[in-house]
Amino acid sequence: MSISSPSNRPASQVSERNSLCTVRAGYFLLLLQTLAHLKLDPADIYAPARLTEVSKVDPNAFRPVEEWDAMVAQAEEHAHGIDIAVKMAEFIKPWDTGAIGFITMACRTLREATVALGQFFSLLNDVYKLDGGTNEDQFQVVMIPQGAVRSIYLERLTLSIIVWHARWLSKRPDLVFDVAFTFDAPDPERVLVYQRTFGGQVSFGSAQGCLSGPTAYADYPVASGPNSDQVHDILRNQLMAEMELLHQSSSGFMHRVEYILQSRLESGQTGLEDVAGELGVSSRTLQSRLEESGLSYRALLDRMRHAQALVYVSDPTLNLIQAAQMLGFATQSTFQRAFKRWTGMTPGDYRRRR
């Protein structure tokens, strides 16, 4: 079963995403697969019409996240205390997310894999974005809501998947992560489940779902997969084309902002007022909408430059001065410092390693 992104998504599937927060329909099929692993009969949980509908759905279509939440909630009521979302994470391997999973397997380090996952996470759902990186003493992944809708089930599933995949990719089953959830603390037995899954401290009532571990984790090599630069670049090009289609066709506010920013990077016209004007909103409105998702305008611009920088630096036909100019950096030294902050290495070192 795959929740992967097809290379040619029908326009009708794209339009489904414009007014709702959605997840790829493969999540529904994965839920049924998990129930089978747990020896729970879906027919005891769901109405026959519902099961028929889910069994016939195209895994690459999109469905409202509220539908998926409702099905997971029903399963948990029937499962007598089992956290279905966390259990689902145990059965998902990187290749179950198609090209997105394969590109993480082709990365060199967990830092690169986390960046790739975050860059293309929107192809799996438009409820959250992932932002991963390092600060002084932590390797961190944050879930950033893209609108008013939140899903505690998708939050638990996503953070659990990242932990399992980090251990699997690095072949280090002993990796320990702290986790912060947005929902209130559940019963003690459920808390123990989370402690066993993540290994570190578990907290609740956070403003955003967040995963963190020691900074050293970021540089752990990916030991599972081809580690091939050629494979990595082919997959990145495929996924970038998918993201371009998504940005062009979606009416989602964040997608529109990202599309405008990306188109303005080279000209340097990326000021808050410039982008707000093209969106047809005031600067204050744009700032407020971003703050609702836990983002600042500066952080969003930095994230867009980071994603595009990886593309330019990986392109051997561009010299690094051209790459800096196309990203809107005033000087080469400014670009060098930003790239090292993003990746832990200079653009030249990154290119030589590739």
Read off the amino acid at residue 274: D
> Domain spanning 252-353: which superfamily?
Homeodomain-like (1.10.10.60)
Give Cβ neighbours of residue 226 (< 8 Å, ≥ 6 apart): 105, 106
- What residues are paired with 229 via a beta bridge? none
Give, as one character, the DSSP assignment of residue 5. P
Non-local CB neighbours of 323 within 8 Å, separated by 6+ positions = 309, 312, 313, 315, 335, 347
| Strands (E) located in the chain | 22-24, 62-64, 128-134, 138-145, 177-180, 199-203, 210-214
Whether the pLDDT of residue 102 is over 80: the answer is: yes
The 3-state DSSP class for residue 109 equals strand
Indicate the pTM of the whole model: 0.75
Q: How confident is the model at residue 248 (pLDDT cuts 50, 70, 90)?
A: low
* pLDDT one-digit tens code per residue, 120-166: 998 899 899 898 877 767 899 999 888 778 999 999 999 999 999 99
Which CATH number does 11-219 carry?
3.90.1520.10
Torsion of CA 218, 220, 221, 224, to 10 degrees: -100
Average the pLDDT over 80-99 and give the result.
90
pLDDT band, residue 250 (cuts 50/70/90): low
pLDDT in tens, 169-216: 999 999 999 999 999 999 999 999 999 999 999 999 999 999 999 999
Calculate mean pLDDT across residues 5-10: 43
Task: Indicate if the pLDDT at residue 97 is higher than 70.
Answer: yes
Query: For tokens 């027919």, what's the residue?
Result: 43
Q: What is the mean pLDDT of the chain?
A: 86
What is the C-alpha separation between 57 and 296, in angstroms, rounded?
37
The span from the CA of 138 to the CA of 336, in Å, is 22
Give me the DSSP letters along 128-147: EEEEEEE-SSEEEEEEEESS
The pLDDT, as a whole number, for residue 6 is 46
Whether residue 60 is predicted with pLDDT greater than 80 in this model: the reply is no
User: Mean pLDDT, to the nearest integer, of 209-229?
Assistant: 85
- Give the gyration radius of the chain's Cα atoms: 20
> Is residue 10 pLDDT above 60, yes or no?
no
Q: Domain boundaries in the chain?
A: 11-219, 252-353
Name the burial class of residue 216, with classes exposed (0-12), middle (13-18) and buried (19+) by CB atoms within 10 angstroms of its CB: exposed
Average pLDDT, stretch 230-250?
Answer: 78
Distance separating alpha carbons of residues 88 and 37, to the nearest angstrom:
9
pLDDT in tens, 284-297: 998 888 887 667 88
pLDDT, average across residues 303-318: 85
Q: What end-to-end distance do the CA atoms of the chain give, in Å?
A: 32
